[in-house]
Chain A
C-alpha cells in the first residue's frame, strides 16, 4: 500500500513539475477569458453603424416607402435610396470595395410580390446584421402589402410589434432561471471538458508507462511491487493531476465570469447599465454536478486502463501514438453526437449512448443536463460502466504485466489475447 502511494506521489509531483502542466493550467482560464472578450467585443460590434444603399427598381414609389420604413425602424442602419440605372450595381460595388458603404439592397417589384430581395455587401457574414435587415424589411413589405389591400397605414403601424421570446428550462417539476442558450452552453461545455480531460489524462498514463518501459526502469519496479499495483498507482496519480487541473479551470471560470465588468472596462467596451453581462454562467444543479463527477471518474478509470495497456504494448512514442488513435476515436463518438442527444434526450439513440460503457462517460452527463434520465436507466448505466471499469482494468492489467517487460516488435493481437488468457 505504501509503495502504491509512493507511485501515486511520484506520478503527481513529476507531472505537476513539468512546464506542460502549467501551460495547460494557465491556458484554460486564458481560453475562457478570451471567450468572454470575444463576446464583449461582439456585443459592441452589433451596435456598429451600417451604411446601406437601396437600389430602387420598383415602380410607383414603393421603393421610397420601404426605405422610409427601414430608416424609421433600424436606427443603426443609414439607408440611402439610389434610383436604378444600368451602372448602379457596378458603381455601388466599387463604393463597397472602397469601404465607403457596407452594402446595398436590390429592391424590385417582385420583392413585394414574392418576397425576393438581394443584398450584396462586405458584412454578409454578420448573422446579426442579416437577420435584422431581413426581418425589418419583411415587416415593411408586410405593411406595404396590407396598405395595398386598403388597410389604414396607421392601423398597420399600430399592429407592428417585435416579439422578444425568453426561454426558460423546465427541469423536473420546477422552472429554472436557465435560458435555452445557457442550457446548451452547459451541455456542450461538459462534453468538451469530459472528452478533453479523459483523453488528456489517459494519454498521460500512457506516456508514463512508456517511459518506464523504454528506460527499462520497470524491471527494477516490478521486482519491488506487483505490476497491477504499479499500474494502479499511475492511474491514480495522473487522475489526481487531472482533478487539480479541472478544479483550477472551473474556479477560474467562476472568477472570470464575475469579473466581466472589469474585463469590459479593460478592453474599453462600454458595458455598464442595464445591459446583461456578456456571458451568463449557467446554474449547475448539484445533481448535475454529481452526475458529471461520477461519470468523469469512471470514464477516466476506464480509458486510463486502456491507455496503460496501449503504452505497455508499444515500443516507442510513435507506435503509442498510432495505437492510441482508435481509443481516442472511440470516445469521439459520443462527443460528436452531442447535438443529436441534446435535440432529443429521450430518443432511442440517446438511450443507447447512455448504456454503452465506452460512450456513456460523455453521453450520459450531456443527456442528463438536457433532461433528467429516469433513475432506473441512470443506475443501469452507472452499473454497466462500473462493471466495465473492473473488467477492462482486469484485462488491461494482464496485458500491461507482460507488455512492460517485452522488448522488440509490437505484439500481434493473437499474442495479446494469449497474455490475457494466461493465468
Chain B
C-alpha cells in the first residue's frame, strides 16, 4: 500500500467544557475519496480545522504528504473548502479567484487562465466581472469550489461540500469530485448526508462525540452489515405489519422511508419468520428482499436515531 497522504494521529481538542475531538486517528491513502461522517457536533469541522492547521490540537499530531510541515507549508498542494463559506462580497468574481490562487502560491498569469477555465466549466463565465454579492448562494458556492481547486491540488479537503446546493449543482460537484479521483487526487470530505457518501466514498469514517465508530472501506462496512437487513414494501394494506415490526424477537430496528421500509433483524431471528408473520397478519407485500443496508441505516444504527438527519422518519 502506498504511503498515506494524510495521517491524523490520536488528536484531541478540548474547548471550555467539552471535548470536541477525542483521540481520533485517521489514515488517508492516496487516490481515494474519504468520507468523514457524523452527526452535528460530532467533531468533523474541528478535525478538519486541525488538519488545516487553523486550530492546533491539544494532543496528537497531523502529518501531511508523509513528511513534516503543516497544511500552510503545503498550501500549494492542498485545496480547502471550509464549512462556513466566505468570499469577499465586494470583490469581482475573477479577482477573488486570482487572489485566492495567489494565496496558494500560483502566479497571476497561470491563475487567470485556470480561473477562466473553471468559470466556464461551472457555467459562470458571464459573471466573472460581477461582484460576489450579486451572485446567488449556489453560484457563490461554485466560485468557492473553483477557488479550492484552481491550483490543481493533490489533496482536497471539503467541509460539507453539498450543503445548500440544489440537485443540479450537487451533481456538478459530484462529477468534479469523481473526476479528481480519476486524476489520482485524494479527496477528504465531511458530510452528514449519507446518500452523498454512499455514492462517492471509497472509504468512510463515522465519528460521534469526537470518537471514531467505524473506519473502513465502504464495501467492507456494507458487507459486515449485510444479511441482517430486509427491504419491505407494501401493496395497499399493511395489515398487522406494525405489530410484527414491534416484535422485538424478530425486528431490532426499522427505517420507514415511506415507499419502503428497511428492517433490521433481531439477533438470531430468521427472515422467513418475519415473512410468515407479515403474510399471516394480512399485509399485502410488493417487495420483500434481503439486502445490504443503506449507509443511512448503518449510520442511524450506530449513532442513534436522534442524530439522523432531519427528514428520515424513524421508529424504534
Q: Given A2-B102, A10-B99, A220-B100, is A215 in contact with B86 using a C-beta cutoff of 8 Å? A: yes
CB distance from B265 to the nearest CB of A (A): 45
A221 to B148, CA, bound (A): 11
* Structural contact, A405 and B54, CB atoms closer than 8 A: yes
CB distance from A28 to the nearest CB of B (A): 23
A3 to B99, CA, bound (A): 9
- A85: chain B residues at CB < 8 Å are none
Q: Given A2-B102, A6-B102, A220-B100, is A226 in contact with B85 using a C-beta cutoff of 8 Å? A: no
* Structural contact, B72 and A226, CB atoms closer than 8 A: yes
User: Is B53 interfacial (CB 8 A cutoff)?
Assistant: yes
* B105 contact from A3, A10, A217, A405, Cβ within 8 A: A3
* B88 contact from A14, A18, A224, A225, Cβ within 8 A: A14
Residue of B nearest to A219 (CB): B82
CB distance from B87 to the nearest CB of A (A): 6
Q: Is the interface of B mostly helix, strand, loop or mixed?
A: loop
A225 to B147, CA, bound (A): 16
* Structural contact, B86 and A223, CB atoms closer than 8 A: no
CB distance from A410 to the nearest CB of B (A): 16
User: Is A129 interfacial (CB 8 A cutoff)?
Assistant: no
- B243: chain A residues at CB < 8 Å are none
- List A residues 3-54 near B (Cβ within 8 Å): 3, 6, 10, 13-14, 18
- List B residues 61-80 near A (Cβ within 8 Å): 71-72, 75, 78, 80
A337 to B163, CA, bound (A): 57
A-B contact pairs, 21 of them (CB 8 A): A2-B105, A3-B103, A6-B102, A6-B103, A10-B91, A10-B95, A13-B95, A14-B91, A14-B95, A216-B82, A216-B85, A216-B86, A219-B82, A219-B86, A220-B82, A220-B100, A222-B53, A222-B54, A223-B80, A224-B72, A226-B72
Given contacts A216-B85, A219-B82, 15 further A-B contacts (CB under 8 A): A2-B102, A6-B99, A10-B95, A10-B99, A14-B88, A215-B88, A217-B88, A220-B80, A220-B82, A220-B147, A222-B53, A223-B54, A224-B72, A224-B75, A225-B75
Quick one: which of B71, B86, B147 has the most chain A CB within 10 A?
B86
* Structural contact, B102 and A223, CB atoms closer than 8 A: no
User: Is B126 interfacial (CB 8 A cutoff)?
Assistant: no
- B87: chain A residues at CB < 8 Å are 215, 217
**Residue tally, chain A, CB below 8 Å to B:** 22
Q: Given A216-B82, A219-B54, is A225 in contact with B89 using a C-beta cutoff of 8 Å? A: no
Residue of A nearest to B70 (CB): A223
Residues of A in contact with B (beta carbons under 8 Å apart): 2-3, 6, 10, 13-14, 18, 211-212, 214-217, 219-226, 405
Residues of B in contact with A (beta carbons under 8 Å apart): 49, 52-55, 71-72, 75, 78, 80, 82, 84-91, 95, 99-100, 102-105, 147-148
Residue of A nearest to B84 (CB): A216
- A221: chain B residues at CB < 8 Å are 103
CB distance from B271 to the nearest CB of A (A): 49
Q: Is the interface of A mostly helix, strand, loop or mixed?
A: helix
* Structural contact, A14 and B86, CB atoms closer than 8 A: no
A3 to B89, CA, bound (A): 21
CB distance from B33 to the nearest CB of A (A): 21
A13 to B52, CA, bound (A): 29
- B82: chain A residues at CB < 8 Å are 216, 219-220
Q: Given A405-B54, A405-B55, is A220 in contact with B103 using a C-beta cutoff of 8 Å? A: yes
Residue of A nearest to B85 (CB): A216
A405 to B84, CA, bound (A): 12
* Structural contact, B53 and A223, CB atoms closer than 8 A: yes
A403 to B52, CA, bound (A): 17
Quick one: which of B72, B80, B89 has the most chain A CB within 10 A?
B72
Residue of B nearest to A217 (CB): B86
Q: Given A6-B102, A215-B89, is A223 in contact with B55 using a C-beta cutoff of 8 Å? A: no
A187 to B90, CA, bound (A): 39
* B71 contact from A14, A211, A223, Cβ within 8 A: A223
A214 to B86, CA, bound (A): 8
- B104: chain A residues at CB < 8 Å are 224
CB distance from B31 to the nearest CB of A (A): 22
- A225: chain B residues at CB < 8 Å are 72, 75, 103
* Structural contact, B88 and A211, CB atoms closer than 8 A: yes
A223 to B64, CA, bound (A): 13
- A211: chain B residues at CB < 8 Å are 88-89
- B53: chain A residues at CB < 8 Å are 222-223
* Structural contact, A223 and B105, CB atoms closer than 8 A: no
A405 to B85, CA, bound (A): 14
A220 to B85, CA, bound (A): 9
A405 to B95, CA, bound (A): 24
* Structural contact, A224 and B103, CB atoms closer than 8 A: yes
- B102: chain A residues at CB < 8 Å are 2-3, 6
* Structural contact, A222 and B86, CB atoms closer than 8 A: no
- B89: chain A residues at CB < 8 Å are 211, 215
